[in-house]
A and B are shown apart, each in its own frame.
Chain A
């Protein structure tokens, strides 16, 4: 273990600079409400019917390559400590109440980021009677990140979009 630790320290960080957001990322800013404080944001993920593909990419945000904590985002264990709900999935009927309650539990001001095609418009589950066809049917969405699943870069860019002081044209 110590050998590995020593070599890790010698190697330097795995963390890579984030690619610039492009048109192709397709990230949509639906509101412009930069936080009234610096940039520290607590994130709470809610799986509202995702196939767990989005969860894999969200987990990748925590790996040393993307390391989302470098921008002040940290994952909280409870929505009560969260500023941002990062929601995936098409909002299944069975998860609707839990999603609503998680949102109610978060203190104001709060933001909602919809991650993945399912969360945006239901994705392949659009026509299912068991799904609401997107997170917007349940909660007001601030930033929408498309992709099936969105790449970790797109997720980082989408989260950083919350912090922007000046609205992008």
Chain B
């Protein structure tokens, strides 16, 4: 488990530095809005690390491409202190090493371990040097340069962190779970009922998607992007499409943009209903879970009727959408909203009036706001622990400037709050969906993208949190692609939230996070 403490950044009496000031007037190598890419020298990279300690900049992603590491940062100051700044910073490492950022941003620990497995680049100064995606079963992209001398060579058994003491015992869950769940491993150290330490291990679902993307046409790669995490198919396809459009400097037509938002919100409502039901079921109410599942099924069927796929896979494509809404489908959608809303409100109010369910959820599995901001967690998990961040607002993308549907954050950070925030988001998205349908612009739904060369990036709010996707294209083909799931920063928080609760509460906690292992393992 990564060492997470609240006091890693030294307190600074001065106002924290701003990313825009630090970048100054430097000309980016790739200007592209809203994510310009700058190339740094090693001294400047070290200065960046120093500034990460002093600042509140959010680590969006850290990844490698052959002999270059890239870090994407977002500076989102309070409105009176300035406007948000975003940037990608690159360091070339011909020696195969780069200074680690993990001490400044704990979220980087797993990312650096994945970089080492995929491209062999070593993070200098990193404490946790265990492999992550590489389970020692095959060479992934390439072997680490010094695989023979490596003390943590993949052949060595994976070493979990230990916990010792009288009565402490181990309990391993996974990779094949008890429920219908994705594969990953959780190792508990418990003392009686109480969890002393939980450590998560991923990588079981590694499919080598980033490698598969290389050399594919945009259309093929978009299909793969939609299958990074199937429940977020629309969010990933949307991020891919936005990045591809920015790379070649083309905008999707307004009707396409709005239809994407319709699908994205339907995906959010459907998944939140599923999660809400799973949490209520786990807390002990099969009745409420069944009702939520019926609503979820209703949305999947309407999605199938309107967009010819229950999960709306492959409907968001670079340049627009591969579907259109006809008037009778519009009324079908509106009818669905009218039907779902009262039924959903009934489920929520039944939960609110059930003391036995509240007893399970209230003050269970707390993620403190300090921890959430240390990791830079987004989505429901972030908004339940004081982080207002929502990619639909910051950096923001259309049509959400016309149809805001953001939910204000809360600080409690327990299972109940995550359930509440999900319910609020369902309500906000149902209202937003009505507005989207009422104001749907006419015209074309799609434009062809010219086969130009370029780089683009996008941050899109999926139901789980922000989905990051960076893309380099040339001649209609993907040269390199990187995607980061919100769960990269949720799973370390789950490890922390379980501490000192009882083992029996873990399934409930897991449901309240619903991390995507497929999204992280790629």
Contacts and interface: CB of A to CB of B under 8 A. Distances in A.
Interface of A: 1, 4-5, 8, 14, 44-60, 62-65, 75, 77-79, 89-90, 92-96, 98-99, 102, 123-125, 127-131, 148-149, 151
A64 B223 CA distance: 31
Contacts of B138: 93, 129-130
Interface residues of B, number: 53
6 contacts: A51-B228, A58-B180, A63-B296, A89-B205, A94-B137, A124-B224
B204 interface: yes
A124 B223 contact: yes
B231 A56 contact: yes
B212 A128 contact: yes
Nearest to B277: A63
Contacts of B354: 1
Given A60-B300, A93-B138, A53 B182 contact: no
Interface in B280-326: 285, 287-288, 290-291, 293-294, 296-297, 300, 310-311, 313
B182 A94 contact: no
B212 A151 contact: no
Contact of A98 (B182, B204, B311): B204
Contacts of A151: 310
A84 to B, nearest CB: 13
B236 to A, nearest CB: 9
B178 interface: yes
A102 B176 contact: yes
B31 interface: no
Nearest to A2: B350
Nearest 10 A-B pairs (CB), nearest first?
A53-B230, A63-B293, A130-B208, A51-B230, A77-B178, A128-B208, A51-B227, A47-B183, A1-B350, A125-B207
A59 B178 contact: no
A50 B206 CA distance: 10
A49 B133 CA distance: 13
Contact of B207 (A14, A98, A99, A130): A130
Contacts of B229: 51-52
Given A47-B183, A98-B183, A148-B313, A60 B293 contact: yes
Contacts, number: 153
Given A47-B183, A55-B182, A56-B231, A131 B207 contact: yes
A96 B178 CA distance: 18
Nearest to A63: B293
B402 interface: no
A52 B175 CA distance: 14
A79 B346 CA distance: 37
B514 to A, nearest CB: 10
Nearest to A65: B297
B518 interface: yes
Contacts of B203: 94
Interface string B341-359: 0000011001001100000
Contact of A47 (B205, B212, B297): B205
B140 A130 contact: yes
Contacts of A52: 182, 229-231, 516-518
Nearest to B353: A1
B52 to A, nearest CB: 32
A64 B313 CA distance: 24
B198 interface: no
Q: Taking each of A55, A94, A127, A129, which has the highest tally of chain B beta carbons within 10 Å of its own beta carbon?
A: A94
Contacts of A127: 212
Given A62-B293, A98-B204, A130-B138, A55 B310 contact: no
A92 B138 CA distance: 11
B211 interface: yes
B359 to A, nearest CB: 14
A58 B180 CA distance: 7
Contact of A59 (B208, B223, B274, B310): B274
